Amino acid sequence: MKLACSGESLPEQNMHSYICADSELAGNENVFSALKRGIECILFYDAKAKTNVMNDYGFPKTYLIKGAPGCGKTTAIKSAVKHGREFSARIGKTIFVTNIGNKFKSEYYSKSAQELRKTFNAFFSGSQINIGIIEDIDTVFSRRNDLMNAEDSANLGEALNLLEGVETVNLGNYIVIATTNNSLDTALEQRLGECILEAKGPETLEHYEKILKINLNGTAKFVPDMRKAAYIAMQKKLSGRDVKNICKTLASEIICLDANPEIYSLSMAKQKQFLESGFAKISDERIMGIIEEYEKQKTFKNG
């Protein structure tokens, strides 16, 4: 097909057939696909001309991911950024990722807000394609209250001002992605909420099976019935992090440690060979027991 005015030929419209094939994410597809789209939008940016065709149509510049602890918010961002990096490499562009965490908080009073502005000014300059990530934003910017100290108040105020700039078309080229487990300052939430995404974590049998397989890795074949294990995890509504932690205990029980002290001075390859020769299947009852012990420990309270 030819463009009428320029004579440039248009490529086939097959961009969206590209998916992150080896994503380690189970569930949270809504989060992944929204972030993927956002990243694909900023990739249109022409840093020399400082223009992005997508600004003519509009797309969310801020993304707020909400969800329970360990449901996979960070994992969803990692998968989307991984997709973005792979895709940008294919089209010869580079994405810069900046983590805006508590690091910007300076030990010198009143310098923190300045540090924050520096980070955003780099985005606003429009010299590159940027993704700003603010993980657990509720721990970075406090909610306004009477007990708020002057520095926290200055940081929140600066963040609100800077995020207002995000809405300005042609002021740089970036998206800001934030995550939280808790409610935020209302004004902050409004500025970050151009696209609010609920991360539900793993929900289906397939999701749980995927997390189990990823985390059991070399020991997966020693779990007699993976589907059954996934079913138990699903019924108990375990988070992705819970499943990951349980997998660590499971794996360590599959590996039969021998008290033979000579093993400890062998090469790693030999140690692996020795350990793997002793791998034994773990019973369904033991898997259930490990899950129950884990849940008990999680709810254990001192005192």
Ligand X SMILES: Nc1ncnc2c1ncn2[C@@H]1O[C@H](COP(=O)(O)OP(=O)(O)OP(=O)(O)O)[C@@H](O)[C@H]1O
Q: Which residues bind ligand X (CB under 6 A)?
A: 24-28, 67, 69-75, 136, 181, 201-202, 211, 240-241, 244
201 binds, among Mg ion, ligand X, none (CB under 5 to 8 A by kind): ligand X
User: With respect to ligand X, which residue has the nearer C-beta, 153 or 245?
Assistant: 245
CB of 179 to Mg ion, least distance (A): 6
- Distance of alpha carbon 189 from alpha carbon 196, whole angstroms: 9
Nearer to ligand X, 78 or 105 (CB): 78
Residue 211, contacted partner among ligand X, Mg ion, none, CB below 5-8 A by kind: ligand X
- Identify what 58 binds: ligand X, Mg ion, none; CB under 5 to 8 Å per kind: none
Q: How far is the CB of 145 from ligand X (least distance, A)?
A: 23
Do strands 95-99 and 129-134 pair parallel, antiparallel, or not at all (unpaired)? parallel
Distances (CA, A) of 151 to 107, 182, 185, 186, 187: 11, 21, 16, 19, 18
From candidates 23, 30, 51, 74, binder to Mg ion by CB under 5 A: 74
| Min separation Cβ 116 and Mg ion, Å | 20
Other C-beta atoms closer than 10 Å to the C-beta of 158 total 19
Smallest distance from ligand X to CB 32, Å: 10
Task: Work out what residue 173 binds among Mg ion, ligand X, none; the CB cut-off runs from 5 to 8 Å by kind.
Answer: none
CB of 192 to ligand X, least distance (A): 16
Instruction: Find the shortest distance in angstroms from Cβ 276 to ligand X.
Output: 23
CA distance 90 to 228: 40
Residue 72 binds which entry of Mg ion, ligand X, none, with Cβ cut-offs from 5 to 8 Å by kind? ligand X
Could you give the CA distance from residue 250 to residue 255 in angstroms, rounded to a whole number? 9
Q: Which is nearer to ligand X, 136 or 284 (CB)?
A: 136
- The span from the CA of 231 to the CA of 237, in Å, is 10
Which helix (H) or strand (E) segment holds residue 98: the answer is strand 95-99
Q: What is the CA radius of gyration of the chain?
A: 24
Q: Does 181 bind Mg ion (CB under 5 A)?
A: no
> How far apart, in Å, are the Cα atoms of 7 and each of 10, 48, 56, 118?
9, 22, 22, 42
Amino acid at 163: L
- What residue number has its CB nearest to ligand X? 240
Binding site residues, Mg ion, CB under 5 A: 73-74
